[in-house]
Chains A and B, each alone.
Chain A
Amino acid sequence: MMKKKQITIALAGNPNSGKSTIFNNLTGARQHVGNYPGVTVEKKEGKTSFQDYEINVVDLPGTYSLSPYSEDEFVARDFIVQEHPDVIVSIIDSSNLERNLYLVTQLMELDTPLILAMNMSDMAEKKGQDVDYSELSKLLAMLIVPTIGNKNIGTKELLAAVIKTHENKIKASKIHVKYGPEVQEEMCKLEQILKKDKELVNRYPWRWLVIKMLENDSSVLDIIRNCSVGQEATAQNEKSRSHLQAHFGDDPEVIIADRRYGFISGACTQALKETTIEERHDLSDSIDRIVLNRLFGIPIFALVMYAIFKFTFTFSEPVVGYFETFFGWFGETVASIVPAGLFQSFLVDGIIGGVGGVLGFLPLVLFMFFAIAFFEDSGYMARAAFVMDRLMSKFGLHGKSFLPMMISTNGCAIPGIMATRTLESKKDRLITMMVVPFMICGAKLPIFALFIGAFFPASYSTNIMFLMYILSIVIAFCSAWLLKKFVFQGEVSHFVMELPPYRVPTIKGLLLKMGERGWLYVKKAGTIIVLISIIIWAGFTFPQNSGVTKEGMTDSEIATIQLEQSYAGKAGSLIEPLVKPIGMDGRSGIALLAGVAAKEVVVSTFGTIYSLGEVDVEETETLREKLQKDPSWSPLKAMSFLIFCLIYMPCFVAMAVFYEESGSKLKWTLFLMFWTTVMAWSASFIVYQGGMILGLGI
Chain B
Amino acid sequence: MERTLNKLNPKESGRVKKILGEGQLRKKLLDMGIIPGTTVEVVKVAPLGDPIDIKVRGYHLSLRKEEAALIYVYVEEDKLCLS
Contact = CB atoms under 8 A, between A and B. Distances in A.
B32 interface: yes
B48 A387 contact: yes
Nearest to B49: A390
Contacts of B35: 254, 257-258, 261
Interface in A458-512: 492, 494-501
A549 interface: no
Contacts of A496: 25, 28-29, 32, 61-63, 67
B1 interface: no
25 contacts: A65-B31, A99-B33, A99-B57, A99-B58, A99-B59, A254-B30, A254-B35, A254-B36, A258-B37, A284-B60, A285-B43, A292-B46, A297-B46, A298-B47, A386-B46, A387-B46, A390-B50, A391-B48, A399-B51, A494-B63, A494-B67, A495-B63, A497-B61, A497-B62, A498-B61
Nearest to B23: A218
Given A390-B46, A496-B25, A498-B62, 10 more contacts: A96-B59, A99-B59, A253-B26, A261-B38, A292-B44, A386-B62, A494-B63, A498-B59, A498-B61, A499-B60
A695 B44 CA distance: 55
* Residues of A in contact with B, size category: 35 or more
Contact of A386 (B19, B25, B32, B53): B53
B33 A389 contact: no
B50 A67 contact: no
Interface residues of B, number: 36
A387 B47 contact: yes
Contact of B30 (A257, A284, A388, A499): A257
A494 B28 CA distance: 10
Given A257-B31, A494-B25, A496-B29, A98 B51 contact: no
A75 B49 CA distance: 35
A288 B44 contact: yes
A499 B33 contact: no
Contact of A258 (B18, B24, B36): B36
A499 B62 CA distance: 7
B7 interface: no
A294 interface: yes
A69 interface: yes
A67 B30 CA distance: 11
A298 B46 CA distance: 10
B64 interface: yes
Interface of B: 18-19, 23-33, 35-38, 43-51, 53, 57-64, 67
Interface string A237-261: 0000000000000100110011001
B57 A254 contact: no
A74 to B, nearest CB: 12
Contacts of B64: 389, 393, 494-495
Contacts of A393: 64
A422 interface: no
Closest 10 A-B residue pairs measured CB to CB? A297-B47, A390-B48, A499-B60, A65-B31, A257-B30, A390-B50, A495-B64, A98-B57, A257-B35, A386-B62
Given A218-B24, A257-B30, A390-B48, A499 B67 contact: no
A69 B47 contact: no
Given A261-B35, A499-B60, A389 B47 contact: no
Contact of A292 (B31, B53, B58): B53
A292 B57 contact: no
Please indicate which of the listed interface residues B19, B29, B38, B59 has the most CB atoms of chain A within 10 Å of its own CB: B59
A206 interface: no
A102 B33 contact: yes
Interface in A258-310: 258, 261, 277, 284-285, 288, 292-295, 297-298
Interface in A6-40: none
A217 interface: yes
Contacts of A495: 51, 62-64, 67
B27 to A, nearest CB: 6
A331 to B, nearest CB: 50
Given A258-B35, A393-B64, A496-B61, A67 B46 contact: no
B31 A67 contact: yes
B27 A293 contact: no
Contacts of A277: 58
A65 B48 CA distance: 31
Contacts of B29: 496
Contacts of B28: 69, 494, 496
A284 B53 CA distance: 13
A495 B48 CA distance: 15
A59 interface: no
A98 B37 contact: no
A634 interface: no
Q: Which of B19, B31, B51, B60 has the largest count of A CB atoms less than 10 A from its CB?
A: B31
Nearest to B31: A65
Contacts of A573: none
Interface in A382-409: 382, 386-391, 393, 399
A64 interface: yes
